Amino acid sequence: MPAKPYGTICALSKACELIEPRWTLLILNQMWSGYSRFSDLRRAVGNISPGVLSKRLAELERIGLIERIEDRAKGTVDYVRTQMAIDLEPAMDALSIWAQRNIDAEVALATNDVAHMMWEYGKLIRTDSFPQRRVVVRFNFSDEPGPYKTYFLLAEPGAPCSVCVSMPDLDIDLYVELSKVSLNAIFYGRSTVAREIEAGRMYVSGDKLLQRTMQQWLPRSSYAGVEGIRMLSAAE
């Protein structure tokens, strides 16, 4: 059932009627990041169900924010933003900057899903800062209640990183014990590797070069350099 209109003639109310439903802006944000396939969007958005994603995509297509492109020869379907959605980018950018400056780190970072985090990290790790050899990093999350607390990052020269939850039959170069809040704080510029180690929220052992360059190869959000960002507390 469509949501009840706000009943005002304010321009903002009309915008809210279109983009306010849950998941809408996050779907558009992931399309902004380059995702266009249903399976990739579902994984990138996070805890959205297939049914809700299908419904939101249909609604976004109906109101003109996205276009559905079907290639029958290849059997593929892509979803792309229209100019109407592209025009939302400055507003979405401003919201992200506002969040970095005004939402406490403990609140902003508390609900992230670790499986989703590691999937993203596998694509964003800056392998150009790795030594030119195979690198295996083990991440173990102290605050993950689910069945998968440990993830392995495998990087080979000239190949994309891969992330898995089972122990590879390879020597591990670096062991990282941390909280998911710590990893996200580093990603969003709300902390650093050194601050998290000093605060006792991160423990690192193994290859000294990888330890020393960790701040360089861990990925960072494009909003990590926002001025006036609210930092995670230095110590508990």
Q: What angle do CA 101, 104, 106 make, to 5 degrees?
A: 140
pLDDT exceeds 90 at position 2: no
pTM beyond 0.75: the answer is yes
> What does the pLDDT read at residue 1?
38
Over residues 176-195, the pLDDT tens digits come to 999 888 999 999 999 999 99
> What does the pLDDT read at residue 95?
92
Left (φ > 0), alpha (ψ -120 to 50) or beta: where does 120 sit?
alpha
pLDDT exceeds 70 at position 8: no
End-to-end Cα spacing for the chain: 46
State the pLDDT confidence band at 57, using cuts at 50, 70 and 90: very high
Domains and CATH numbers, the chain: 11-87 (1.10.10.10), 108-217 (3.30.1050.10)
Residue 209 has φ and ψ, to the nearest 5°, of -65, -45
CA gap 28, 20 in Å, rounded: 12
Would you tell me how many other CB atoms lie within 10 Å of the CB of residue 89? 13
CA gap 142, 145 in Å, rounded: 8
Residue 21 burial (10 A CB sphere; 0-12, 13-18, 19+) = middle
CA gap 112, 221 in Å, rounded: 15
Q: 135: closest CA among 158, 156, 152, 119?
A: 156
Residue 12 burial (10 A CB sphere; 0-12, 13-18, 19+) = exposed
Over residues 113-146, the pLDDT tens digits come to 788 888 888 888 998 889 999 999 999 998 877 7
> What does the pLDDT read at residue 4?
66
Q: Rounded mean pLDDT of 204-224?
A: 94
Strands 135-141 and 150-155: antiparallel
Task: Give the up-direction half-sphere exposure of residue 15: CA atoms within 13 A in the CB hemisphere.
Answer: 10
pLDDT exceeds 90 at position 230: yes
Q: Where are the alpha helices (DSSP H) in 46-187?
A: 50-62, 83-86, 89-102, 105-108, 114-124, 180-187
